Structure 1
């Protein structure tokens, strides 16, 4: 990830949004960056303007005025505004609003909140998540509302792809800044891909599993060679299981503060972020999640 100077955050005007805004400001302080805040007013097709007794422009003005009033109240409640940049209220689908604002302020990082199933959260799940990831040529950080002020445990799942290299590079850099421990996790699906497993003896299965883990260890050693891990508290984990389930289980087990993943990878990690399992990871992992693309790093 290049030097971070401008960060954008999408905010829903809900009770939990104040926490997200405070966490976003903490990330801006970490990078010494400016935080630009936007609220998107999304008007779905099921809501018809002609159902309102007021004229279109009056409705729009009232909604905007109400949004501005609440947003300004949230900004005013922030204890430290040194890193606060511009604020916006925009009309449109959240992923589209965030993408346009990213270009407008030359953003280096996009933050969204992992709270309640609001419009901005839906920008990270389902079909909208794919649109947001495609549109934004910058890292995306889904913030947990109860995230700690300081990162202590950073988990980086890798599948030895280019996307994993990018995620590992940025994850290590982030951990170095915070003095956090790094857990590099590779999950290999062994039993699930064995043909007619019921015909194998326990001894045969154990032998094959040991051979598979040895092969994976060699892949991991080769993968890590270009990385400078000096001065970083790193632990390597080679776990057998289903990729998305094992990632969530591991993150919970080590009480991770941040999960860093590549957006495009081989095997299961690609489906975690771009397939139907995206929602499972985002909602079930209790920590913040950073999504990195290979072209984002420098």
Structure 2
């Protein structure tokens, strides 16, 4: 599979709570659109599995399941059948981040989908570390779902710092989300900008950035029709301030970010915690790691 080819398998990690319903709906929508296999996995700690097995061992024989893993698997299978989603249910035992990464590797999945609570403080602490590990170490793109699923993604913003990881993110977005409105977003702060003022200086810096953007698009080697339709948003300022505002003002439902860029948006956002990245943007977020 090429770097931007549609994933043949999508891996959804769920904790079986209501907050993951949107993630499940989005994963199912993408699997249907891409004709991909959907794997829905519940990750449970080994200690919790052992504790549950000890508890059920004391139950009467007619109420005693084969194992807690089988109970979870059956519950997951029933949930999928109830909502009419065709998927392969899976129970993965281990610490969440490591277990998900290993399962994704074993299943040769091309995308990980997560659903993260917005306001549950303790869950954010626990899940934040899991997401942080997945975003930084997963070998495949990681999609965090925030929005309600009504249709396919309509407005996709690809952030860029003109680095190679940003190129990969742009190519992937153009291939994965054909038909969506595609916007390239770049925020810049000129060196010594506190001393560099005036219309002339601003115009000069913007011209430099526009030339770099044109070179970036040339390296992307996208189809002419996509380049012609691509909206470019290039603004002077701090990306961590400008991007959330643009998302809120422009009806954006997905932001695609190439990680490990040399500066700009990737450094500003991925340089902080995963919670900052996933909770400050009021839309879904797809993080694409560089090679």
Q: Could you tell me the TM-score, scaled by structure 2's length?
A: 0.82
Q: Which of 152, 155, 158 matches 1:153?
A: 155
Q: Which residue of 2 aligns with 1:254?
A: 250
- Structure 2 distance, partners of 1:30, 1:243, is 32
Does residue 236 of structure 2 align to residue 237 of structure 1?
no
SS at match of 1:286: coil
Count of residue pairs brought into register by the alignment: 277
> Aligned runs of 1:60-139 on 2, under 5 Å?
63-64=68-69, 67-81=72-86, 84=87, 86-116=88-118, 117=120, 125-126=128-129, 128-139=130-141
275, 282, 285: which one aligns with 1:289: 285
Cα 1:42–1:249 change in 2 (3 A) is farther
Q: Report the Cα offset of residue 151 of structure 1.
A: 1.7
Segments of structure 2 that go 5 or more residues without pairing to the other structure are 59-64
For residues 143-198 of structure 1, give each alpha carbon's deviation from its aligned partner in whole angstroms, at most 9, with x where no partner exists: 2241332221110011010010000101111232xx111111110024x8435x4x
Please say if residues 97 and 134 of structure 2, whose CA atoms lie closer than 8 Å, have aligned partners that are also in contact: yes
Distance 1:255 1:53 in 2: 45
1:110–1:181 CA distance, 2 compared to 1 (3 A): same
SS in 2 for 1:8: strand
| 2:266 corresponding residue in structure 1 | 270
Partner of 1:213: 206
- CA spacing shift, 1:54–1:230, aligned 2, 3 Å: closer
Structure 2 CA distance for aligned equivalents of residues 120 and 162 of structure 1? 34
Pair 1:111–1:54, CA change in 2 (3 A): closer
Alignment map for 1:191-206 (pairs within 5 Å): 193-195=192-194, 197=195, 204-206=197-199
Q: Sort the Cα spacing of 1:277 and 1:248 in 2 relative to 1 into closer, same or farther, 3 A.
A: farther
Pair 1:123–1:238, CA change in 2 (3 A): farther
Match of 2:175 among 169, 173, 178: 173
The one of 10, 15, 18 equivalent to 2:13 is 10
- Looking at structure 2, the residues matched to 271 and 13 of structure 1 have their Cα atoms a distance apart, in angstroms, of 33
Return closer, same or farther for 1:12/1:122 CA change in 2, 3 Å cut-off.
Answer: farther
In structure 1, runs of 5+ residues without a counterpart are: none
